[in-house]
Structure 1
Amino acid sequence: MRIVGGSFKRRIISPPKSLPVRPTTDLAKESLFNILGNIINLNDKTVADLFSGTGNIAYEFVSRGAEKVLAVEQHFACVKFIRQTAQDFEMNQLTVIQSDVFRFLKTGTQVYDVIFADPPYALDNIPEIRQLVFEYKRLKPNGWLIIEHPKSVNFSESPYFHSLRKYGKVNFSFFHYTEVAETSHE
């Protein structure tokens, strides 16, 4: 696993094999960030990486200029790995917290320019992530939510849905929180 672009490009990320994660592949990650590069300038943006796992996506956001990145992960060994890697790479923009993502979305007050969520594919309530992000207004106006999910989950009829991109077994659903969309979904 490696960082594919930005100031930390080509840095290798070597998580222990014992971590209970399914990291986004380098190909899917590169495609995701190519899309993001065409729709949003990440410089000076705040980002939340939910179900952060190894921190793979969080490191990429930092590398590509995000001002602040918060990694949210429940598993202690993953949190420890993300902290150590961020320290090793001197990524001062990256903070990690150990928390259940659903509790975090319901109780936090911070809003973000971009929220990326990569829940375990076996999770039954993946659609609840989208619901909570918008119900608790966790995105800034003109913000983006991206959810990585299995093909069995279909968000195409959901409020704020923008597009779906597929890369093999990896699906990314993009949601765009705009004032126009806000008015039409009330």
Structure 2
Amino acid sequence: MTRIVAGTAGGRRLKVPPKGTRPTSDRVREALFSSLEAMMDLEGVRVLDLYAGSGALGFEALSRGAAHATFVESDKRAAEVLKANARELGFGNTTIAHRTAEAYVAGEGEKFDVVFADPPYAVSDDELQKVLHGLAHRLAVDAVLIVERASRSGEPGWPAVVEPLRAKRYGDTAVYWGQVRSDG
């Protein structure tokens, strides 16, 4: 069962796509958001949830005060689950883009304060690096990027404007943090 950990929708359950996704565990989300809220106030931020799956990361951010979340998901079934979760939770402040992460970041549009990238473990380091580099022009000043990968994967190849902050392992999962440099 995947649920929202805290905030206005705390305790509410999320639907999960039938297959092909790996939702971030409640334990990892709780630790991740505890660290994120120690770094910044989530009130009013704009969030991008790449490779969104069930949307657990973006919906958690909305529950904790984010102004808007954009969910990017290439799988049609997962995109339908995202829409159902947004309706069920009553979050109208969402955009759901049924596209690949590569296609989404190549486009123009709004800038984001927080970016979650939780690609399938099968996504290669090179593919992820292309997405992160393509995203550079969509990052707000001081934006925080959080990348979730298999523990066996190395640190992502950050764009030049992003300073690596830290990495934390949770069993088979590793979470990598980066932030837009103040001189970037």
Common fold by TM > 0.5: yes
Distance 1:118 1:34 in 2: 18
TM-score by length of 1: 0.90
Partner of 1:127: 129
Aligned-residue offset at 1:157:
7.5
**1:120-168, Cα deviation, whole Å (9 max, x unpaired):** 011112232322222xx11101111111112233237844211111111
TM value normalised by structure 2: 0.91
Give yes or no for the alignment of 1:5 onto 2:6.
yes
Which secondary structure state, in structure 1, belongs to the residue aligned with residue 13 of structure 2? coil
Alignment of 1:26-175 (within 5 A): 26-124=26-124, 125-134=127-136, 137-155=137-155, 158=158, 159=160, 160-175=163-178
Question: CA–CA distance in 1 between the matches of 2:123 and 2:15?
Answer: 25
Taking a change above 3 Å as real, the CA distance of residues 66 and 170 of structure 1, as seen in their structure-2 partners, is: same
8 A contact 1:19–1:77 mirrored in 2: no
Identity among equivalent pairs (%): 25
Q: Which stretch of the first structure deviates more once superposed, 170-179 or 2-11?
A: 170-179
Paired residue type of 1:173:
Y
User: In the alignment, residue 114 of structure 2 is paired with which amino acid?
Assistant: V
Aligned residue for 1:147, secondary structure, equals: strand
Query: 1:58·1:94 contact (CA, 8 Å) conserved in 2?
Result: no
Q: Measure the CA separation in 2 of the matches of 1:127 and 1:149.
A: 12
State the alpha-carbon separation in 2 of the partners of residues 131 and 3 from structure 1.
30
Structure 1 Cα separation of the partners of residues 154 and 75 of structure 2: 27
Residue ranges of structure 1 left out of the alignment (5+ in a row): none
Is the CA contact (8 Å cut-off) linking 1:156 and 1:163 kept in structure 2?
no
Deviations 1:34-62 (A, max 9, x none): 11010011100000000000111111011
Letter in 2 for 1:171: A
Specify every segment of 5 or more residues in structure 2 that has no aligned partner in the other structure, as ranges. none
